[in-house]
Structure 1
Amino acid sequence: MTRRRRPLAPEAQHGATRLSLTERLSYGAGDFGFSLAYNMAGAFLLFYYTNVAMLPAAAVGTIFLAARLLDAVIDIFVGIAVDKTRTRWGRTRPYFLFTAIPYALVFILVFTVPDWSQNAKLIYAFLTFKALGILMSLGSIPYTALMPMMTTDTGERLKLGGMRSIGTSISVILGTAATMPLVGLFGGGDMQRGFLATAILFAGLSLIALFLLFRNCKERYEDQASPSFAVLPAIGEMLRNRAWLVCFGFTLLYFVRFGTMISLTAFFAIEVLGHPWMISILLPAISGTLLIAAFIAPPILARTGIRKGCFAACLIAIVLFLALPLTEASPASFLVLYIAASVVTSVTITGIFTMAAETVDYHEARFGTRNEGLLSAGISLATKVGMAVGSAAIAYSLGAAGYVPTDVSDAARETIRWSYYGWPVLLLALQALVVLAWPVERRAAA
């Protein structure tokens, strides 16, 4: 196979790979722009559908699962489209420009379920949620593909991964801790009005962040090969890329865990701990601690390497989660352990962002092609399918346990309790095993 050449930007040709602070901050803002809507939806859409729109939990689980499984096809096509795109703005940046407004509008529609019949509401919920997923793909896949185009330096990629973690963290804090207070403030007792007003506010913030991403982040390392290539052989190469397979599996398991916990936390705080006020601490701590990890993860992973660092983080987090049930009677002790576990697991997400970029270089070394869009599509698919499986598992569990918002049974409470502890421990153990197969151990330059 003919190796694709990568003409470099002038500054790259002279060895200047350092990125400006503005560029790094704007790259982080991109994750904020794409994640804010998704984090609010991930944290509260199950609650909104069941307790505000009054839809049955099992049907909602089916909506989540079916919508995300369709992404298996959609994400691959988006990735291929990115690899075939050639414009005056580059290969990835046009997607940020042209999807930002539709993404914001559909996000608002997701939290505007009309007062129709139950079947009509279910159809509306599926269509709007699916549309949000498609638009997320059209933006987030090019966003992930952008990092290896910005720099080939592992140290700079770790810094970009750290900034992306900050963007994710702030989006989680707003999308989780601030949502219910804002719903109460804007709604004045009307939760439907409160959710709608909050969605409008967050949509506006997302638009600003995505504009900064488009304006300030540039593609320095571009693949100038012909956009015409055979799709099936390219997918086959992706599936033979060991680095990509490890990154996909590790990311999938992370987001299955993320999906279970973010969907279950509100129920857990209310029905098991008996402290609704803890929702505004527990939810942002799930990944809001990325703000801390954004500063500690790059130097840790630069020193240990991704494989050893992420493996150790998973093992430490397992120990902390196993200790959590012992502290249920003490909110302070529970929160200390929980936040510590969240900080440790947040280190792995910075590793994921860097791994996704490294898979491109590994792919080029093995197959002579880069295919940033296609490889990024696979990672995007792992995040969304993982979230879908996690959220659907919780919805089905609640349905099987006979969860009724107005009369919660002891069986439902026990299902909520052990799902909250058991799933994270199992999934962290699987992540630890998967990351041991990571084949790239380039240390960052000092």
Structure 2
Amino acid sequence: MDVLNEQTKPMSKWRQRIGYGVSDLACNLIWQMISLYLLFFYTDIMELSAASVSLMFVLTRFADGITDLLVGYLIDHTNTRWGKSRPYFLYGAIPFALFAFLCFNVPNISATGKLVYAYITYFGLSCAYTLVNVPMASILPSLTNDANERTALSTSRKFFGFLGATIVSSTALTLVNRLGHGNQIVGFRLVMAIFGIIGCGLFFFTFFNVRELPVVSTEKVSLKNVLSSLRKNKPWLIFALNILFMWTGFFIQTSALVYYFAVVVKSQGLSITVATIMSIVPMFANFLVPIIAKRLGKRNLYISASLVQMFGLLIMLIAGVDHAVILVGAFISAIGYGMKESIYFSMQADPVDYGEWKTGLNVSGSLSAINGFLGKVAQAIAGGIAGAFLAWGNYRPGLTVQSSQAIVAIKAMYLYIPMFLIVCSVVTMLFYQLDRIYPEIKRELEEQRNK
């Protein structure tokens, strides 16, 4: 639709940084719960079989990936007085909070009914997440044309994202036990109600505290042109492949956290400490990213941070059940992970500029959507692998002593597979050369826009 852009004064840098950043706090209050506890909730509390959950993760994630593409296409064809991406924060906030609450409920129905309920609510939550998460990526190129400010905005986003993850990892299980008075079903339901309400309010805050730059061109972009533009975008193709390696490793490891420390290390309480380290340490390591990125470049920082993360996981592997050494490894791994994820989100915006420079089309919505779709594919793969490994290992919920095969399966989920995928990620990013030519691309784009 043809509606005039909102005529308002530009936001101050810090107001916009905070406004943009808290959107990831809202997301992580919900999604960290999904990453850390949903598989455990389904198998140990809702009492669904690991094989059924594995199949559900795969099917719903691939189906939900289509909604990413749809939302991205809609963003590229949205033109309101609020901008292209910004309206979705307003309209997606309430569905996101509602489905988060419904997802962590156990209806009093048959086992088959529970599985159907899990399918519906998990798919609904994933779609609602898409409505607010794809715009978080697509709006970044529209907030500023300055590469350093984009890094600052991404740093702010990840600071608040890690803050949300820290809140969940350090308080969620305690709140579940206290609010539920020992009843985990009630506890999870109340915790998700609280996090959902807070997350909804934060998305409203983001909507009112960010502004998109005026759109230079109102040319309608066809799906054929979008696909043609992406096919010619070599930096994005490399970046897209890396998405699969990066997020598959992340989701497999986070889904195995509770199992690893309860079954292998024999200390479920230590899982809370490690989860807290893995969220609070990146929150502060994140502040180093703008400084180091200026010196090393984005790609080199990503590779260096990945190697630091890998070194930390090696220490955890060698540590066995030694709590002190495990914590040292977790701390080092968290530093690398924090810097890697922060610069990853900053890098997302650069292939958008490359595509516009190469083809003359700005398809930030579609590009961000496909990135999101690949993330969903990674999560589907991770969920499928995790469920399959638990089934292969003959994992039995509630047992303090598991079979040796189950222990091997859980170790593979938490350490072996993530380490292998980090290596794949580093090798892939060695071929990413956009940093070298990016200053020239920005100069030429600015000249074209001025004309």
Please state which band the TM-score falls in when normalised by the shorter chain. over 0.9
- One-letter amino acid of the counterpart of residue 69, structure 1: F
Whether the aligned pair in 2 keeps the contact of 1:74 and 1:134 (CA below 8 Å) is yes
- One-letter amino acid of the counterpart of residue 45, structure 2: V
- One-letter amino acid of the counterpart of residue 137, structure 1: T
* Larger CA deviation: 271-280 vs 228-237: 228-237
**Unaligned 5+ residue runs, structure 2?**
443-451
Match of 1:269 in 2: 261
Whether the aligned pair in 1 keeps the contact of 2:103 and 2:118 (CA below 8 Å) is yes
* Larger CA deviation: 284-293 vs 79-88: 284-293
- One-letter amino acid of the counterpart of residue 157, structure 1: R
Whether the aligned pair in 1 keeps the contact of 2:319 and 2:326 (CA below 8 Å) is yes
Match of 2:449 in 1: none
Q: Distance in 2 between matches of 1:93 and 1:65?
A: 30
* Larger CA deviation: 32-41 vs 191-200: 32-41
Q: Distance in 1 between matches of 2:12 and 2:271?
A: 38
Whether the aligned pair in 2 keeps the contact of 1:258 and 1:286 (CA below 8 Å) is no
Q: Say yes or no: does 1:411 pair with 2:400.
A: no
- One-letter amino acid of the counterpart of residue 43, structure 1: L
**Unaligned 5+ residue runs, structure 1?**
1-6, 13-17
Q: Distance in 1 between matches of 2:214 and 2:384?
A: 39
Whether the aligned pair in 1 keeps the contact of 2:307 and 2:336 (CA below 8 Å) is no
Note the 1:90-101 alignment, pairs <5 A: 90-101=83-94
Report the Cα offset of residue 35 of structure 1. Answer: 2.5
Note the 1:4-403 alignment, pairs <5 A: 19-226=12-219, 228-403=220-395
Q: Say yes or no: does 1:421 pair with 2:412.
A: no
* Percent identity for Structure 1 against Structure 2: 26
Report the Cα offset of residue 149 of structure 1. Answer: 0.2
SS in 2 for 1:89: coil
When residues 292 and 443 of structure 1 are mapped into structure 2, their CA distance, relative to the original with a 3 A threshold, is farther
Report the Cα offset of residue 106 of structure 1. Answer: 0.8
String of CA shifts for 1:100-147, please: whole Å, max 9, x gaps.
111101110001130211111111101111111111111111121111
- One-letter amino acid of the counterpart of residue 106, structure 1: F
* Larger CA deviation: 229-238 vs 186-195: 229-238
Match of 1:15 in 2: none
Report the Cα offset of residue 286 of structure 1. Answer: 3.4
* Larger CA deviation: 284-293 vs 308-317: 284-293
SS in 2 for 1:220: coil
Whether the aligned pair in 2 keeps the contact of 1:165 and 1:293 (CA below 8 Å) is no
SS in 1 for 2:348: helix
Whether the aligned pair in 1 keeps the contact of 2:308 and 2:335 (CA below 8 Å) is no
TM-score normalised by the chain length of structure 1: 0.92
Q: Distance in 2 between matches of 1:414 and 1:75?
A: 35
When residues 239 and 74 of structure 1 are mapped into structure 2, their CA distance, relative to the original with a 3 A threshold, is farther
- One-letter amino acid of the counterpart of residue 237, structure 1: S
String of CA shifts for 1:328-371, please: whole Å, max 9, x gaps.
23211211111111211221111111111111111101010111
Match of 1:437 in 2: 431
- One-letter amino acid of the counterpart of residue 175, structure 2: L
- The count of residues paired between Structure 1 and Structure 2 equals 433
Report the Cα offset of residue 288 of structure 1. Answer: 4.1
Q: Give the aligned CA root-mean-square deviation in angstroms.
A: 2.1
Q: Distance in 2 between matches of 1:252 and 1:64?
A: 16
SS in 1 for 2:395: coil
When residues 124 and 223 of structure 1 are mapped into structure 2, their CA distance, relative to the original with a 3 A threshold, is farther
Q: Distance in 2 between matches of 1:42 and 1:221?
A: 37
Report the Cα offset of residue 309 of structure 1. Answer: 1.4
Q: Distance in 1 between matches of 2:367 and 2:100?
A: 26
Whether the aligned pair in 2 keeps the contact of 1:19 and 1:156 (CA below 8 Å) is no
